[in-house]
Amino acid sequence: MSIQEESLQDMNAQDARLQEPAPELSPRVAPSEDVSGGALQDLLVLDLTRILSGPFATMTLADLGADVIKIEQPGQGDDTRQWGPPFQGEEAAYFLSVNRNKRSLAVDLKSAEGLAAVRQLALKADVLVENFRPGTAARLGLGYEELSAQNPGLVYASISGYGQTGPDALRAGYDAIAQARSGIMSVTGEADGPPVRVGVSSADLVAGMWATIGILAALHEKKRTGAGQWVDISLLDGSVSWLTYVSSGYFASGQTPKRYGSAHPTIAPYQAFATADGFVMVAVGNDRMWRSFTTALNREDLAADERFASNPSRVAHRTTLIPLLEEIMLTRTTDEWVQALDLAGVPVGPIQTVDQALKDPQVIARGMVAELQHPTVGALKMVGCPVRLTRTPASIRTAPPLLGQHTDDILSGLGFNTNRIASLREAGAVQ
C-alpha cells in the first residue's frame, strides 16, 4: 500500500460508522454560568467600513457581543443601502445581510465637528476597522499612527485591495479583480470552459474573516502588553491564502493547476454527477470507499479493473472512468442515490439550490436561519452566525440599523447636549 493510499484511507477512517445510530452529543465544556452579552461584550468597535469585507468582519464581532458603531454618510449611508433590487420594503437586501447588531451614526466626515465626534469615538474605542483606500484615513486624521499615539491600546484593522505596502498598495480593490489575480478564478470552472468567478464574493468575505482573526489575535496579545497594533489585511492576500493544496501542488510539480469543474485534481471520483432528476456530489476518498461505491452501483467489475484499483490509477484514468460513472448515475434520482450511498458509507450530498439549502433540516437545526423584527421591514430572515460557543454564544439581537438611527444616543454618550446635536443636524453634519 502506498503512502498516498494510506493517507486517503486515514482521511475518512470513521466513515464505517455512518450506519450506526448517532450518539447523543453534548458540549465539550459544559456551561458553568450564564454569560449574557457575548464573549466580546466589553469591546467598543468603531466601524468605518462599507460594502462587504469590512461590514462582514464587524458584523461577526457584533454577533459575538461587541458594541459596533457604524459610521455612515448622511443622506446616503453605506453604498449597499442602494444596491438592489431585491429590496425588503425600502431596505436593500444586500445591506441587510451584513449589518445586524450595529448602531448607525450618520456623520459627515468632511464637517469639522462631525470629524471631531468620530475622533472622540476612536480615542475611546478598543477596535477600529476601516476599508478606505490606503492613505485616506490618515488624510482625515483617522490613521493608525495619529490615533494610536493618543489611544495606544487601539487595535486598528485596515482592509484594502492590495494591503498597505507593495507596488499596488494605492490601487482600488475589488472582489472580482482579487479573485482573478490570486489564481482562484483560473481553477474555477469547467475544464473546457473559461475561468469563472466564485458565486459569492469570496475575496471580500475571506478578507473579512482574516480581519476578524487578526483583530482577535491582536486583542489577545494586548492582554500581555497593553498595546494595540495595526492589522493589515488585503483581498489579494486572503485569496492567495486559499490556494493551499493547489499552490503546494504547483510548488511540488512545477505544473500550472488546471480547472476541473466540480472534480478534485488528486482524488477520483470526487465530483458532481447528474442524476435522473438533478445533481449529486460524491466524494470517494479512499480505496475502501471505492469498493463500497461500486457495490452500491452494482458494478463490482469496476473495482476489479486494475485501471481503477487505486486512487492514483483512477486519477490517471479519469477520462475513461468518469463517463462510465456518469452513465450509471443517470439511472436513479438524487434521493435514491443519496439513500443508497449513505447506506454504503460513501460521502454524498444533493446539490441544493439556495432555497433548498436554507430549508435543509440540518441547517435549520443548527440555527443558521434566524428571524428578527426590523423597524420598517417587519419580520426579517437572515443567515445566522456559524460560531458556536458553549458559555458565551453568538447572538442576533438587533436588526440592521436605519441610517442614523442611533445618532442622538451615540452623540449624547459623548457629552453632546440636545441643542448641540440639533445644531449639527441643521448644519447637515449629522443625520
Query: Catalytic one among 47, 67, 78, 204?
Result: 204
In the numeric block, which cell numbers belong to residue 45? 468597535
Cis peptide before 74 (omega within 30 of 0): no
Q: How far apart are CA 99 and CA 241, in angstroms?
A: 26
- On the 0-12 / 13-18 / 19+ scale of CB atoms within 10 A, 18 is middle
Q: Is 342 annotated in the active site?
A: no
In the numeric block, which cell numbers belong to residue 178? 482579487
Determine contact, residues 396/380, Cβ cutoff 8 Å. Answer: no
Q: Which among 127, 123, 151, 143 has a CA at the least distance from the CA of 61?
A: 127
Q: How far apart are CA 109 and CA 136, in angstroms?
A: 12
- Written as one string, the DSSP assignment of 280-321 is EEEE--SHHHHHHHHHHTT-HHHHH-GGGSSHHHHHHTHHHH
Q: Which among 139, 205, 135 has a CA at the least distance from the CA of 163?
A: 135
- On the 0-12 / 13-18 / 19+ scale of CB atoms within 10 A, 156 is buried
- Residue 372's φ and ψ, nearest 5 degrees, are -150, 175
- Written as one string, the DSSP assignment of 406-420 is THHHHHHHTT--HHH
Other beta carbons less than 10 A from residue 13's beta carbon = 11
Q: Which residues are catalytic?
A: 204
